[in-house]
């Protein structure tokens, strides 16, 4: 019944009331892209926080079996103790989280000031890329630490 009343209130001519389909789709796509970009950034911040919290919580158990042997990081020339590898991963996760927060702030800023905002703006892409790379580096360091302690 309510649907019928709405149709009657509109009259037959509603072309002036609703925007064209392409304008509406573009706006909806822009909203979705910003939402997805924001969600990915938030997920990486959450994962970084979780990994730091878990490894710190169980660090006594994790570091109890670590010997003083040195491990090589990938194919770089320098050597690092396993405990340093874990501490370095924590630091890189923290820096990744800082870049994630900066990405969220940039997403918001671009939505406010731009007439046609895009998630492909250079400032968003740069900050987000650095966050993702740092997250991957820290994750690799945690995995390498885990392999070295086995």
Query: What are the E-state strand segments in 34-127?
Result: 70-72, 79-81
Q: How far apart are CA 7 and CA 22, in angstroms?
A: 23
- Angle of helix 82-113 versus helix 21-57 axis, rounded to 10: 160
Q: Render pLDDT for 77-134 as a digit per residue (tens, 0 to 9).
A: 445 567 788 889 999 999 999 999 999 999 999 888 867 889 999 999 999 999 999 9
CA angle 96, 124, 51 (to 5 degrees): 20
Beta bridge partners of 79: 72
Extents of the domains making up the chain: 32-149
């Amino acid at each position: 019944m309510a649907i019928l009343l709405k149709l009657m209130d509109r009259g037959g001519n509603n072309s002036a009331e609703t925007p064209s389909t392409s304008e509406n789709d573009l706006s909806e796509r822009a909203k979705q892209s910003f939402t997805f970009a924001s969600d990915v950034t938030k997920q990486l911040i959450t994962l970084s926080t979780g990994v730091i919290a878990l490894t710190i919580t169980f660090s006594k158990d994790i570091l109890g079996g670590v010997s003083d042997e040195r491990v090589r990081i990938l194919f770089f020339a320098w050597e690092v103790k396993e405990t340093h590898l874990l501490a370095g991963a924590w630091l890189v996760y923290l820096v990744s989280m800082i870049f994630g927060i900066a990405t969220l702030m940039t997403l918001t800023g671009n939505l406010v000031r731009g007439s046609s905002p895009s998630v492909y703006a250079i400032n968003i892409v740069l900050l987000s890329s650095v966050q993702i790379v740092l997250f991957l580096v820290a994750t690799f360091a945690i995995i390498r630490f885990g392999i070295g302690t086995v």
